[in-house]
Structure 1
Amino acid sequence: MKKLLTTSLFYCILGLISGIYYREITKYADFTGKTQLSVLHTHLLMLGMFMFLVVLLLEKNFGIMSSKKFNAFYYIYNAGLLLTVGLLTFHGTMTVLGQETGAAVSGIAGLGHILLAVGLVILFLIMYEKLKEEK
């Protein structure tokens, strides 16, 4: 359970730092337009910090970490989230600096979203497994 709490704290810290980063880089560049950096803070807090707090509660109540599928969920979901927010950061920073990014950035970000979805599917499979065990 400590692993889940530490993961949640990690995303909390990243989320807070990303909010500061967004504020400071837009102020530095005198940027007032739209940028993907504006949603980075909430992505990290909701999909990272809050998600792993929920997973911690699921572990406490259902023991989901004992499932053979749990490590697949944990690593795939984290890889997807880090890839997604990494590309949000890159694309948003390039926008603020007035630089174009290519189609590859969108494609790689799409892979991050696919990994997030796969991770969520695995989590639901784990939950169905645990609910079945309780019967």
Structure 2
Amino acid sequence: MRRLYIASFAYMAAGVLSGLFYREFTKLNGFPEGAPTQLGLAHTHLLTLGFIVLLIVLVLEKVFALSRSKLFGWFFWLYNAGVVLTSAMLIWHGILTVLGEESSKMIAGIAGTGHILLTAGVVLLFLSLGRALKRDRAAGAVTTAEPLAVAAP
């Protein structure tokens, strides 16, 4: 649970700092305000996919003990690798755009790999959640399946 808290906090800090970088880097380089760049997307990806999603997963972990499943560890590392890789490519592509340089297909390919890792992580999260729900349902069935006391007539 502590790993989720620390990762969520780190993404919050990275998201805020990436927003600051976006604003200042575009100003310093005379980039037209409102012109499209991937730098703004890195800010929202880090805050949403990193900070907010991991806070929600932290609550799910508290309620359902998701980490009891081995799949949860795989979720955590694959998902975080996907967030970092995707955000890094957004920043790299955004910097190139602001500097007026051409992007390459390599950046798109690496970003695509990041999205694949994110997707795999989300699938593993849902599998972990499904197992936890099944485990809780089975535990609930044991307690409700106890024989009822019947009053004597």
- TM-score normalised by the chain length of structure 1: 0.98
The aligned amino acid for 2:57 is V
RMSD: 0.6
Distance in 1, matches of 2:95 and 2:51, equals 23
Cα drift, residue 95 of structure 1: 0.3
The aligned amino acid for 2:120 is V
Alignment of 1:18 onto 2:18: yes
Matched with 1:103 is 105
Secondary structure of residue in 2 paired with 1:49 = helix
Unaligned 5+ segments in structure 2 are: 138-153
Larger Rg: 2
Cα drift, residue 40 of structure 1: 1.2
Q: Residue 35 of structure 1: which of 22, 25, 37 is its match?
A: 37
The aligned amino acid for 2:96 is M
The aligned amino acid for 2:131 is E
- 1:104-133: CA deviation from partner (whole Å, max 9, x where unpaired): 110110010010000000000001101011
- TM-score normalised by the chain length of structure 2: 0.87
Matched with 1:134 is 136
Percent identical: 47
Secondary structure of residue in 2 paired with 1:101 = coil
Alignment of 1:113 onto 2:130: no
Alignment of 1:57 onto 2:59: yes
Distance in 1, matches of 2:92 and 2:121, equals 23
Matched with 2:149 is none
Cα drift, residue 75 of structure 1: 0.4
- 1:36-88: CA deviation from partner (whole Å, max 9, x where unpaired): 01111111000000011001000110000111111100000000110000000
Higher RCO (CA < 8 A, seq sep 6+): 1
Unaligned 5+ segments in structure 1 are: none
